[in-house]
Structure 1
Amino acid sequence: MKLASTRNPACTATFLEAARMGLAPDGGLFAPVAIPRFADAADLLKLDFLPRSTEILHRFLGDELSRPEVEDLARSAFTFPAPLVSVRPGLAALELFHGPTLAFKDFGARFLARVLALDTGKPRTVLTATSGDTGAAVASAFLGLPGIRVVVLYPAGRVSPLQERQFATCGGNVLALAVDGAFDDCQRLVKGAFEDPELVGGLGLTSANSINIARLLAQLLYYYEAAAQAQGHGSLVVAVPSGNFGNLYAGLLAQATGAPIHRFVVATNANRVVPDYLDTGEYRPRPSVATLSNAMDVGAPSNWERIHALFHGDHDAMAAALRWGSRSDAETRETVLELDRAGYLADPHGAVACGVLQNHLRDGEQGVFLATAHPAKFKESLEPTLGREIPLPKALSGLLEKPLLCEPLAADQAALKRRLS
């Protein structure tokens, strides 16, 4: 699997090199130079999730890892299901929150942790920014691994209390830093750290954000699972709740390899940078605004650079391949109530995806929206809307008694460097 920077095709790396570096040396993101096309995609869909995932990963990584190694990675990382749950005829939710931290990011974070654990020769610092669920998934995946320190940056006061407790109560080799700013400030600090040769070389710095290609390769796999479970129900249209746009990029990779997905729907909240670009052709990153679907509160999405490169910068091609829209908080609440009346409890991010999806479905299509997090993680915002209490699963209720172990951090590059050094 040969990868190149989105900013310089001459800046290349193998998969394992890219996973260890995270960000390309020139500040770009690693992306496949060539995407394989699977002529037997229909046969792959007949396999169960683990053997299918092993086969797909082996086709990408076979030059670097043996099939037994790939099989061990998959079996160790993917220990939970991704069920497709019918909401009504023609509409279903792909539930991606059945992992240990109850969010879709468990797929990518657990796979990445096991990939990095293959390299036991050098201590590493895993640096990640989170708008909610990434921090929990990364902290859980790397907790207690020898030779690895995890540093999670998050916007103080702008993640849900339960999300914060999932990564800020760990201690041990996990350090949580509450940044005085927005998620975009956290992301800027992480990128700045990777542009500092002293930090990168001295700490063995790597990233667990979706800028790391290993996470996205793992996420590609559940799009095949969606297609496998939805077979026979019409052309598949998948709505992706989007913030940093790694999940959409993973889906586009799956589609490019042959996964039978007819169209993707880009679904955002009030942070409409990408829908506005698709509407107008003008890409205008701007400060994010806080919403109910906080994990999508991103004003300068990192992975749009990968998607832009995938389409060779052709706006018309992107507009032809995608459908898109956004939902306000009021509209998100309406969709939560609508789904609840249909017997399905959705978190705010899934509700955004469902609401946009329903505006873009056509006759003969099967709509699937990604349910990216367990709704109980957002009980503070959902319970007033629903007018009832949402019970906490055991994975969350046990966090309430644990003390927060976070430290405050100014949104300043020098302050982060001092804390990391």
Structure 2
Amino acid sequence: MKLYNLKDHQEQVNFAQAIKLGLGNKQGLFFPNQIPKISSKTLLKILDMNFIERSSKILSMFIGDEIQEQKLYQSVKNAFSCSIPKIVYVEENIACFELFHGPTLAFKDFGARFMAQILSYLNHQNEVMTILTATSGDTGAAVAHAFYKMKNVRVIILYPQGKISEYQEKLFCTLGKNITTIAVNGSFDECQKLVKQAFNDQELKIEIGLNSANSINISRLLAQICYYFEAFSLISTQQQKKIIIAVPCGNFGNLTAGLLAKSIGLPIESFIAATNANDTVPRFLETGQWSPNNTISTLSNAMDISQPNNWPRVEELFKINNWNLKDLGFGRVSDNETIKTLKKLDHLGYISEPHAAVAYRLLKKSVQKDEFGLFLGTAHPAKFKQSVENILKKIIILPKTLEERNHLPLLSHKMKPDFNKLRQFLLKK
């Protein structure tokens, strides 16, 4: 597999190099030189496979012979076996595609665990590696659990202090061992900026063996393609004909994965990029002007991102496929609208959480009677227990994963969004 740097097309790397580097020169994202294509006949065969077999097959189309077929299959099996997606109908032609049945109750489990498995496989010389990543809520837990106690891997996770839910924080800030968490007195965008500054520091990168597990890492992105195919395998042939998928968007990695699935040959009719009040992309699609505002805190905190890292990949996909960005559905949903939507879903018999509610609201406005609408459930409602209970006036029972960590002390360090202080911290360890 060959990939190029979106900011420097002369920089070409293979899959192993891309996953180890995370970012290229000028902090550029890596992008596949060639998008594999599958025929309608091959698609039918692939959809007939089970989730693990199908995912291994799809990933092998990108990775090629860099990883032996059996080794790749085992990595996929180790990563995905604990988290099978489910479709739950909320209306006759609308369903939630639940991606939160993994160990940290969020869709991020797929990408993080696959990345951990592949990095472990590729680290033949047992080199010491530092994973530095920023989280707006769910990435932190998924990455922390995926790499927990892994030999020769140190994980540093930055998150905006006081701007993620209590239960999100408990999931990854209570582990210790090789997992270090830092509560930054700032926004997610400031956390993300610190990560980018670290990657721009060549001396630091070499000294600590720096890598990232955000959705900027191509391995996480490719893993997420797989569950879009799983969604198709779980619905009827009639529903497959006109399917609209609404994606809750923060860093836009999940939408990028869906667009890659469509590029390969999965016949998705259209997508809706669903955001909250942090609406840089909707405003860009309306005006053509990229003008990020200051990030504001919302109920759907994992989407509180004003400068989404993966947007250049979205633009590249539209460019190489000769698609028109005007065909991409989009919208933003306020907290008041989110609250109303959570109550509506509850009235329909489905308990949701704020991120999926944002996607459902925009999907409901768009989907036609002859279409089938799917909105992604990216996190378990229990991760937002306090806000969901306050809105719905119902008790949300904690899953075992959360209950086990609920009473453990937080182990996080605290820091201002100061790169020099972060640099010193990273070099001390």
Instruction: Give your verdict on TM over 0.5.
Output: yes
Verify: 1:307 aligned to 2:307, yes or no: no
* Paired amino acid for 1:331: E
Q: C-alpha displacement at 1:208, in angstroms?
A: 0.2
Task: Measure, in 2, the Cα distance between the counterparts of 1:66 and 1:313.
Answer: 29
Show the 5 A alignment for 1:65-214: 65-79=67-81, 80-118=83-121, 119-121=123-125, 122-214=127-219
Q: Quote the residue 2:232 is aligned against.
A: 227
Among 380, 386, 397, the alignment partner of 1:391 is 397
Task: Measure, in 2, the Cα distance between the counterparts of 1:97 and 1:170.
Answer: 20
SS at match of 1:172: coil
Show the 5 A alignment for 1:343-354: 343-354=349-360
Q: C-alpha displacement at 1:313, in angstroms?
A: 9.4
Is the contact made by 1:227 and 1:260 (CA closer than 8 Å) also made in structure 2? no
Show the 5 A alignment for 1:300-339: 300-312=307-319, 317-320=324-327, 322-339=328-345
From the two aligned structures, give the one with the greater helix fraction.
Answer: 2
- 1:276-314, Cα deviation, whole Å (9 max, x unpaired): 111111111222110000000001000011112222399
Verify: 1:288 aligned to 2:291, yes or no: no
* Paired amino acid for 1:279: E
Task: Measure, in 2, the Cα distance between the counterparts of 1:310 and 1:245.
Answer: 13
Given the superposition, is the C-alpha separation of residues 352 and 315 from structure 1 closer, same or farther in structure 2, using an over 3 Å criterion? farther
Structure 1 outlier segments of 4+, above 4 Å: 313-316
Q: C-alpha displacement at 1:61, in angstroms?
A: 1.4
* Paired amino acid for 1:408: K
Q: Quote the residue 1:33 is aligned against.
A: 33
SS at match of 1:417: helix
- 1:34-58, Cα deviation, whole Å (9 max, x unpaired): 1111111232112111111111111
Is the contact made by 2:7 and 2:25 (CA closer than 8 Å) also made in structure 1? no
Q: Quote the residue 2:55 is aligned against.
A: 53
Give the percent of matched residue pairs that are identical in Structure 1 and Structure 2: 46
Out of 3-12 and 123-132, give the one that drifted further: 3-12
Task: Measure, in 2, the Cα distance between the counterparts of 1:24 and 1:103.
Answer: 28
Is the contact made by 1:109 and 1:141 (CA closer than 8 Å) also made in structure 2? yes
Is the contact made by 1:53 and 1:221 (CA closer than 8 Å) also made in structure 2? yes
Q: C-alpha displacement at 1:260, in angstroms?
A: 1.8
Given the superposition, is the C-alpha separation of residues 335 and 315 from structure 1 closer, same or farther in structure 2, using an over 3 Å criterion? farther
Q: C-alpha displacement at 1:181, in angstroms?
A: 0.2
- 1:47-104, Cα deviation, whole Å (9 max, x unpaired): 1111111111112112201110111111100012101111111000110000000000
- Give unpaired runs (5+ residues) of structure 2: none
Is the contact made by 1:227 and 1:261 (CA closer than 8 Å) also made in structure 2? no
Out of 225-234 and 346-355, give the one that drifted further: 225-234
Verify: 1:217 aligned to 2:222, yes or no: yes
SS at match of 2:342: helix
Task: Measure, in 2, the Cα distance between the counterparts of 1:385 and 1:286.
Answer: 28
SS at match of 1:34: coil
Is the contact made by 2:8 and 2:25 (CA closer than 8 Å) also made in structure 1? no
- 1:223-249, Cα deviation, whole Å (9 max, x unpaired): 111111123224111000001000000
- 1:189-219, Cα deviation, whole Å (9 max, x unpaired): 0000000011111111000000000001000
Q: CA RMSD in A?
A: 1.3
Task: Measure, in 2, the Cα distance between the counterparts of 1:129 and 1:54.
Answer: 28
SS at match of 1:287: coil
* Paired amino acid for 2:92: P
Is the contact made by 2:225 and 2:257 (CA closer than 8 Å) also made in structure 1? yes
Out of 114-123 and 99-108, give the one that drifted further: 114-123
Q: Quote the residue 1:407 is aligned against.
A: 413
Q: Quote the residue 1:271 is aligned against.
A: 278
Task: Measure, in 2, the Cα distance between the counterparts of 1:313 and 1:47.
Answer: 29
Q: C-alpha displacement at 1:139, in angstroms?
A: 0.3
Is the contact made by 2:190 and 2:417 (CA closer than 8 Å) also made in structure 1? yes
Equivalent pairs counted in the alignment come to 420
TM-score, normalization: structure 1? 0.98
Q: Quote the residue 1:4 is aligned against.
A: 4
Is the contact made by 1:95 and 1:371 (CA closer than 8 Å) also made in structure 2? yes
SS at match of 2:88: strand
Out of 188-197 and 381-390, give the one that drifted further: 381-390
Out of 42-51 and 93-102, give the one that drifted further: 42-51
Q: C-alpha displacement at 1:363, in angstroms?
A: 3.0
Task: Measure, in 1, the Cα distance between the counterparts of 2:221 and 2:236.
Answer: 24
Is the contact made by 1:268 and 1:296 (CA closer than 8 Å) also made in structure 2? yes
SS at match of 2:8: coil
Q: Quote the residue 1:44 is aligned against.
A: 46
